[in-house]
Structure 1
């Protein structure tokens, strides 16, 4: 039983909780059977930390800013859990790898990596003998040192964006509630251009490059091992005019197409729902599986980002996600509403054109 209450199967496995249409039902995605409610509420049980933008780190991008990768963070959390369970001090762990207490602290915080020999030494020290689990951790350590496509553009991409892309790219499941704009993973080129143009971009990043990066992120959803993605949109997002009516109509029709992807479920929270669990703002909830189960809440602000991993912080968001799915329209009813609103934007465009004649 994992962080969202779903049993563990490999990402993209055939037969993994789907409806006939291939859309993962939100109840399976978010909710365990009643008898396993304890497991659901105690996922992330390792006493993980709340992360904000770190003040320093061993690895930096070309902008001179520290980068903490999700895979290093996952590995570091598990290493800390194993060390504490084995009642090994940081000093003893440091001695085992001929390092320092500071290095162990940074490894466990996900700020620096280990060699294979160092990781093997720590696993021996912590008494980890399960071959499959050790192999999984060694593979996680190996992939944590690899560079994703987004890191090839790290000279112009802020750490916040790099970390968001890695969160998306390495997750096995994603829940997102959005109250303001269409999520970036669903945006059309024209809509993305209109959204991004309303915000200042880094001096080394052109508007067109920013749009291109956003569109490149979307390939994730079409991959064979795409994460299960449940998205709940406040109805206001669909009415808020970004760009002209043609842009909005195209965006809404694209949203319908994205909702037909086999591992994507898009649902609308209608105005008629009144107050609900998402009224205090947008959030993203990422889930990760083998070899280390882990959930992360990602909150984005203008000048910072916050990762929440502690159980006390995670539980309200898991509960909110479940309540939002319970209150939102079904994917089918949501698609009908989105189609109707797209038609309204078409009519608005025709009216605007007639006035100009």
Structure 2
């Protein structure tokens, strides 16, 4: 049974299609908002894939756009149905929209390329390491809320590594291995965990001796999807905020940067040996 893709990509696909249909029909966002009896803001969010629509709203939109192609109508209603599904994360209560978007992309991706300069990537964290992260970098002092974050992270791993997992390439800066989070015992267990990643995961380490390289600009995740589903999306973390990049030139630039980071990293076996050596120091 394949992994459920979640509502994010279907909403994005539907929004993009509706935006094109509206432009082709020469209907403004204000006009369609008046027809649906909603705000222009809602139409903007629908076309951006931030929110879904109910069947009656979609029917009204397609009528306004004079869409009579039955096959296309069926495809759009299927996207509407998929977009109204609840993501697996909804069982944990309210999740911030940006993080829900990230989880949705992660659920639908067939290949994920990750660079982490500060901490072990969330999909490879042990529960104790994740708990230590939540206790030190979380913006909340609420113990129950921090435990909720840990549960979401563990469930996230379970969902991604279920049947038919994506191919995942993880590049870590060597500083990640030496930054003590949770103390020596937690770090030792965490690094040993990295030595035996799931079969779909490869781990490389960029050693200190590599000097400067593109990864010094910050953490980055590249999501790739089946060709018919969506073009790649890059998630970039930075001091000015977190961004989702989809423009072709941005994708090309990030892909080149990732390839340079991979070239700067140790081979898989050398990375394994480096991680093992650091793990022994924590014993």
Same fold (TM over 0.5): yes
CA distance in 1, matches of 2:268, 2:160: 17
1:128-277 to structure 2, matched below 5 A, reads 131=71, 137-155=76-94, 157-202=95-140, 205-258=144-197, 261-277=198-214
**Higher normalized contact order (CA 8 Å, seq sep 6+, divided by chain length):** 1
Flag the structure with higher helix content.
2
Deviations 1:310-333 (A, max 9, x none): 223332112212222233222222
8 Å Cα contact 2:92-2:148 kept in structure 1? no
1:135-158 Cα offsets, whole Å, 9 max, x none, are 554433212111122112233x33
The counterpart of 1:122, out of the listed 43, 62, 73, is: 62
Can you list the C-alpha shifts for 1:110-151, whole angstroms capped at 9, x where unaligned?
2332344655763995879594x7655443321211112211
Structure 2 distance, partners of 1:182, 1:193, is 13
TM-score by length of 2: 0.81
Who is 1:281 aligned against? 218
Q: Work out whether 1:336 is the aligned partner of 2:270.
A: no
CA RMSD of aligned residues (A): 3.3
Aligned to 2:247: 310
C-alpha contact 2:113 2:170 (8 A) present in aligned 1: yes
Mapped contact 1:75–1:292 kept (Cα < 8 A)? no
Provide closer, same or farther for how the CA distance between residues 118 and 253 of structure 1 changes in structure 2, counting only shifts above 3 A.
same
Contact 1:72 1:111 in 2 (8 A): yes
Alpha-carbon offset, residue 93 of structure 1: 11
Contact 2:29 2:43 in 1 (8 A): no
Distance (whole Å) between structure 2 residues aligned to residue 316 and residue 123 of structure 1: 40
C-alpha change, 1:280 and 1:304, in structure 2 (3 Å) is: closer
**Structure 2: unaligned runs, 5 residues or longer:** none
Structure 1's unaligned 5+ residue stretches are: 1-10, 13-67, 347-357
1:241 is displaced (CA, Å) by 1.4
Q: Deviations over 1:226-271 (max 9, x none)?
A: 122111111111111112211111101111222xx23212111122
The count of corresponding residues between Structure 1 and Structure 2 is: 275
Contact 1:97–1:122 (Cα < 8 Å) also in 2 = no
Q: Is the aligned partner of 1:77 residue 2:9?
A: no
Contact 1:96 1:122 in 2 (8 A): no
Give 1:166 shift.
1.9
Task: Work out the CA distance in 2 between the residues paired with 1:166 and 1:92.
Answer: 26
Change over 3 Å in CA distance of 1:287–1:82 after alignment to 2:
farther
Q: The residue matched to 1:344 in structure 2 has which SS?
A: helix
Q: d(CA) in 2 for partners of 1:336 and 1:293?
A: 37
User: What TM-score results when the alignment is normalised by the length of structure 1?
Assistant: 0.66
